[in-house]
């Protein structure tokens, strides 16, 4: 299995082993963070309708940090809000990336 959890991997419904055509809120947050951007709870609520970003980030952290290639980082913004971001902790240079739909491409 590819260690980079993106749209195609995330859409697998583990209980039924079926594929879904819709992107969940968690998948949208994961795709946003994997593009190198950071997110606060207010931004997540406005952009993706995520009511409890802390719980969503806990789920995402369990998924991405399990492979050892990504790390969820939390910082405090100037206004005191928690800001989440995802950093690549892979020691080597990547030779491919993923687009917003989860398709792999060469860098």
Instruction: Write down all domains in the chain, each with its CATH number in brackets.
Output: 7-106 (3.90.1150.220)
CB 81 within 8 A of CB 41: yes
Could you give the percent of the chain with pLDDT greater than 70?
Answer: 70
Question: How far apart are alpha carbons 52 and 9 in whole angstroms?
Answer: 23
Confidence check: pLDDT of 69 > 90: no
Which residue in 89, 78, 83 sits closest to 57, CA to CA?
A: 83
Confidence check: pLDDT of 70 > 70: yes
pTM of the predicted structure, to 2 decimals = 0.65
Model pLDDT, residue 91: 66
Confidence check: pLDDT of 96 > 80: no
Confidence check: pLDDT of 2 > 70: no
Calculate mean pLDDT across residues 82-99. 78
CA 70 to chain centre: 9
Going by the DSSP 8-state scheme, the letter that residue 53 receives in this structure is H
């Amino acid at each position: 299995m590819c260690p980079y959890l993106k749209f195609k991997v995330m859409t697998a419904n583990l209980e039924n082993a079926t594929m879904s055509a819709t992107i969940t809120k968690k998948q949208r947050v994961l795709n946003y963070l994997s593009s190198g951007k950071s997110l606060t709870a207010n931004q997540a609520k406005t952009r993706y309708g995520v009511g409890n970003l802390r719980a969503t980030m806990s789920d995402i952290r369990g998924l991405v940090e399990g492979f050892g290639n990504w790390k969820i980082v939390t910082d405090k913004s100037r206004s005191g809000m928690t800001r989440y971001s995802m950093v690549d902790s892979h020691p080597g240079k990547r030779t491919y990336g993923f687009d917003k739909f989860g398709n792999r491409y060469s860098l």
